[in-house]
Amino acid sequence: MGEQGREHDPGDPETLMFSWAYLDQSGQEVGRSPRFPDPDAAEVWIGTSWRDLYENGVEEVVLYDQVRGRKLYRMGLSAE
C-alpha cells in the first residue's frame, strides 16, 4: 500500500507539503498517500479514495504537514 498513488505526484516535490498516513486496525502505519500542495487538495483526494483504502485494510488516516512536521488531524474511514 505504501506505493499507492505515487504516480499522482505532480510538480516539484518541495511544494508538495501534505500527505496522509494510513493506519490499520491496531493503529500501526501501513502506508502513505501521495503528497499534496495544500490541505484542501489532500482532502479532495481522500474524499475520492477512502473507500478503496478502507477495503484494503486502512481503518484510519492522519493528515500530516510534512514541512512543519505536524499532525493536523486523524479520522476513521468506517461509515459507522
pLDDT digits (tens, 9 = 90+) for 1-24: 544 444 444 555 567 899 999 999
pTM for this prediction = 0.79
Residues 35-76 pLDDT 10s: 999 999 999 999 999 999 999 999 999 999 998 999 999 999
Would you give the distance in Å from CA 33 to the centre of its chain? 4
- Which of residues 78 and 50 earns the better pLDDT score? 50
Region 24-28: what's the mean pLDDT? 96
Residue keyed to cell 498516513: 21
pLDDT of residue 16: 81
HSE at residue 22, side-chain half, CA atoms within 13 A, is: 22
